Amino acid sequence: MTSGLGAELLGPPLPADAATYSIDPVYSNVSFSARNRPATSTRGAFRQFAGTLFLDSERPERTTLAVYVTSSSIDTGWKDRNAHMCSAGLLAAEQYPIMSFWSLSAEAQSANLCRLAGSLWFKGTTRPLIVDGEYRGSALSPQDCERVRFVGRAVLKRSDWGSLWGPVMDAGERSMGDEVVPLFEVSAVKRVPIRWWP
């Protein structure tokens, strides 16, 4: 897969026997929160995304998550702020239309909890990101498709990404806090394996 500009987007190694689920954007959410001034914060979501969850509910350490997000689909509830976030100094959505996360390994914390160690690809740079995940069960949809719910939370630092680190104010403090908290709330539908006959 590529970003559309020739930049390769890497993906996760696939667990051999784990069940494969496609993220359903209608019932899923990719959001974030960030402090932008000493007494205020910004919350928002990305409205266009896709991804895959590879899950073994009995062995959480085999969980693998891949999420691909359209940068320009950011929605903070304010049109002017959305445009500012998409500008070259921040998300650079025109030059880098896709950002992605994929996990490379998982550590089981308990029966339903795991810690995913992976990589965030953003503005042409890849950096490590840890996601704390929770498997929240499964159910059959009205169409008799198995659906699972998985929630993941991470913390990344703006200072690791250069231009996302805000300017210094008169008092010597940054106008933007360093921590951004991404949240993946995933509802995913199990894929039916494709079988080929001669």
pLDDT in tens, 30-57: 999 988 766 788 899 999 999 999 988 6
Q: Which residues of 141-168 are buried (b: 16+ CB within 10 A; e: fewer)?
A: eeeeeebbbbbbebebebeebeebebee
Residues of the domain holding 75: 19-190
CATH code for the domain in which residue 69 is found: 2.40.128.110
User: Mean pLDDT for each consecutive 10-residue tract of the chain (198 residues)?
Assistant: 43 65 96 82 95 84 92 96 90 95 93 93 93 94 88 91 55 65 96 57
pLDDT the model gives residue 3: 41
pLDDT in tens, 147-167: 999 999 999 988 887 656 555
Whether 7 is in a domain gets the answer no
Whether 6 is in a domain gets the answer no
